[in-house]
Amino acid sequence: MDNVGIVVDDLDAAVAFFAELGMELEGKAEIEGLWADQAVGLDGVRCDIAMMRTPDGHGRLELAKYHAPTAIDAGPHNPPHNTLGMHRVMFAVDDIDAAVAGLRAHGAELVGEVAQFQDSHRLCYIRGPEGIIVGLAEQLG
């Protein structure tokens, strides 16, 4: 997998949110032109993207802010966890409590609560930019 794409309304806020998780800004670009229209099946594409890289260099998120055509709302902003389609990105963290506290400073809220699975992991889901669900997993021991 090369990357996961997320369309956002506030690109700077989304970059700050994922930077809080330890992701690094790889670069930003303006995307437009016939090739972009052809690739995504829309006319008149003009968007700004920010590519975020995981600290290990193996994963990336492409955050996109569409200026044209205007982004559309696909449904409820806070869909429940069992909604069909892509609904979360999971991150491994060293300290789940510290990660949740840091992300709350960027407007994130817990979907449920931090839960422990046996003696192996602590897990939780939070709402991130544009209402997407971001999973956090802390390995124990």
**Which CATH number covers residue 12?**
3.10.180.10
Same domain (yes/no): 56, 13: yes
In the three-class reduction of DSSP (H, G, I as helix; E, B as strand; rest coil), residue 18 is classed as helix
Q: Are 87 and 79 in contact (CB under 8 A)?
A: yes
* pLDDT of residue 69 exceeding 90: yes
Note if the pTM is more than 0.85: yes
Range of the structural domain that residue 57 is part of: 4-68
pLDDT of 86 reads 64
Residue after which a domain boundary falls, among 33, 68, 103:
68
The overall average pLDDT reported for the chain is 91
Task: Show Cβ contacts of residue 20 under 8 Å, excluding neighbours closer than 6 positions.
Answer: 99, 102, 103, 105, 106
Residue after which a domain boundary falls, among 19, 38, 68:
68
Of 25, 32, 28, 35, which is closest to residue 47 (Cα–Cα)?
A: 32
Count other Cβ atoms within 10 Å, centred on residue 63: 28
In the three-class reduction of DSSP (H, G, I as helix; E, B as strand; rest coil), residue 45 is classed as coil
